[in-house]
Chain A
Amino acid sequence: MTFEYAPAPESRSIVSIKPKYGHFINGSFVAGKKHFPTVNPATEEILSHIALGGTSDVDKAVLAAQKAYTKTWSKLSGKERGKYLYRIARILQERAREFAVLETLDNGKPIRETRDIDIPLVAAHFFYHAGWADKLDYAGLGHSPKPYGVAGQIIPWNFPLLMLAWKVAPALATGNTVVLKPAETTSLTALLFAEVCQQAELPDGVVNIVTGDGSTGAAIVNHPGIHKIAFTGSTEVGKKIARAIAETDKKATLELGGKGANIVFDDAPVDETVEGIVNGIFFNQGHVCCAGSRLIVQESIAEEIIEKLKVRMAKIRVGDPLDKNTDLGAINSKEQLAKIKELSAVGDTEGAQRWSPQCNFSDKGYWFAPTIFTGVTQAHRIAQEEIFGPVLSVLTFRTPQEAIDKANNSPFGLSAGIWSEKGSRIFWASQHLKAGVIWANTFNKFDPASPFGGYKESGWGREGGKHGLAAYLKNGKETGAK
């Protein structure tokens, strides 16, 4: 006897998408010159046309941000700044369903995730940082730390509105103004956020949004009126930014790639671990920089874990992202799908064994079945390179030290997971892993109070928590006895 799920689609009537958008500069929308289409990756339907920002648009946005910084935002007390952030948090909560549906349409991620994870976290980020705005003297950055001025922020397509919140909330709380560029394929929720700024009566120019592609991002990075860069994206682009600002005094935080090791010891609770592995790699179609994309499992239980994982994977519901029962949605773009296919093909040719459950995909849209590769060795490209899709590479180990060595054998150092029932082993492993975020008997958890960011080539700096404030503030005078 099999149970079938009836379709349970979330209504899209709650959102209204304009046929064409401009940029949001100095408190209002201004028309763009050129436009490009943005599609629903689940259907390939063109949702709208997004303005391609050029240097003149970036100039205008930076000018507006500078003016807002000197004329209004830097003159407001932290208490008043905080109240604007609280307002934004509350409006985001009020309009949460609208944002969730729009994010799912534009990104392809399941409504279950946008509704239950992305959007609630977005509101939480603004709420959390609102409270910091008048307490910056207590952030451990000396007396009266000062903002940089205008922050240029460039965000990725995997968590469009959440990444906006990670960037905008701390920047505003610390007294900076911003010029933000959403990712090329996922601009719609950022543009809806502009409306929230208007409803919150945020002073004009404090938040400016210029849409576009890599060239628009480069114009922001290279603009002399910007004093601080915050970027989330690929390590390749992160390095380009580091080079581009080398000769300047610009500060940068970079949240870049990862190849997270999810380590399973032989005393791990099997069922919970299997759930954790699934959440680690298939959450958000694997479009997660901190995904647990390398499963490093102790040899003695590898067979059992992999068998149970396959059974569990066969129950993952792949399909319409707007269906409330969907676990795995659409791949965000044609280009990303091609990259995932390419690296998976490399996994085949290098001799790893591929397995996926049977999935029936619609002819339209960009889809990739949840996939595991077993028999992967450290030299394989699928053990070294970020695939950024629902593809898990499985490696095995015999001794705990071997697990650590394999986990750390990567130029990245963003995240890691540890599965074990033994407390001392968890602490030992977490001490030895070179990663900025470690999840013990859980994975892919995020919170505004929890700093996020990586070691080595996973980037510079932290976002979230007390540590994240440092990214947007120049240290004040130290009060310690000398």
Chain B
Amino acid sequence: MATKKVSRVEVKKTYKLFINGAFPRSESGRVFEVTAKNGDFIANPALASRKDLRDAVTAARAAQSCWSKATAYNRGQILYRIAEMLEGRAEQFESEIALTARITPAKAKVQVAQAIDRWVWYAGWSDKLQAVSGATNPVSGPYFNFSISEPQGVVAIASSDDFLEFIDAIAAAVVSGNSSVVLVPGGLAVPAMSFAEVLATSDLPAGVINILTGSLDELAPWAASHMDIDGFDISGIQKKKHGALKEAGAENLKRIHSFESGKTPTRILAFMESKTVWHSVGV
């Protein structure tokens, strides 16, 4: 990012958080430094605070009624639109990932292509989930009985610092109608905030995806004990730290899961709740 010739001074981006469709600074005023492999300064992303987390949860909860009630077709189209926006900015993501994840440009290019395709894969699930997970149940009596899957509500995500895993976790949580608060560590903050800009231009309702950059060691326990978070994907956190988070999450019986891999409907269904409805049948 550093310019070699001083023919023109680059206009650099100020890194902020993404909450309720807007880009606020952390209320704490804290930032942390992201550097390149050679030590060059890249960015000062916001170091999100507990108050920022609470604000993000409030936004996610408020977004619930509109996102979960949107038709599956509509959700699928909005998610597909996000893939379109990602594709248009692929080169930007490639260079940011190469720089911050410290991988070769070729590898970064592959990863961005995978991430876009993965997002499209998840988008297509929106109107197929019920066919796969639901059932009509042949009960012994004059009742029409069926089970459908519904989003749990607000899902927190502790992402790893890998861009593809970040995409997997978010797509799996929101495609069913959950809203989310995504906790992003380290250098992933840079492409994650570019992803926030993609979201802001994709007709995604404000608050459906909120992104907080900072320290997972700080943020994850706060999310685990937050009483208005229904589910928590802790795939990005080391296994030895899972126990403490699950213990904190027991207070409201949060659904806490971690996944070895993406690209499975199991991951979507883990953050859905099955509802069974009995209708009496008669004339």
Write the residues of chain A forming the contact surface with B, with a CB cutoff of 8 angstroms: 124, 140, 235, 238-239, 242-243, 246-248, 254, 256, 411, 426, 430, 435-442, 445, 447, 449-453, 455-457, 459-460, 462, 465-467, 475, 478, 480, 482
Contact = CB atoms under 8 A, between A and B. Distances in A.
Contacts of B252: 411, 456-457
Contacts of B246: 242, 246-247
A235 B69 CA distance: 29
A426 B139 contact: no
Contacts of B276: 436-438, 450-452, 465
A457 B138 CA distance: 28
Of the listed residues B147, B242, B265, the one surrounded by the most CB atoms of chain A closer than 10 A to its CB is B147
Contacts of B139: 445, 447, 449-450
Interface string B247-283: 1011111010000000111100000011111111000
Contacts of B277: 430, 437-440
Given A440-B280, A442-B143, A460 B274 contact: no
Chain B binding site: helix, strand, loop or mixed by DSSP?
mixed
- Nearest first, the 3 A-B pairs at minimum CB distance are A247-B243, A242-B250, A246-B246
A246 B280 contact: no
A13 B242 CA distance: 55
B145 interface: yes
Given A243-B247, A246-B246, A457-B253, A435 B275 contact: yes
B263 to A, nearest CB: 7
B132 interface: yes
Interface of B: 132-133, 135, 137-141, 143, 145, 147, 152, 230, 242-244, 246-247, 249-253, 255, 263-266, 273-280
A233 B137 CA distance: 25
B253 A254 contact: yes
Contacts of A452: 276
Nearest to B69: A431
A466 B135 contact: yes
A467 B279 contact: no
Best-surrounded residue of B138, B266, B273 (most CB of chain A within 10 A): B273
A140 B265 CA distance: 11
A113 to B, nearest CB: 16
Contacts of B138: 449
Contact of A246 (B137, B247, B255): B247
Contact of A441 (B132, B137, B230, B279): B279
A431 to B, nearest CB: 8
A238 B138 CA distance: 30
Contact of A459 (B253, B278, B279, B280): B253
B147 A467 contact: yes
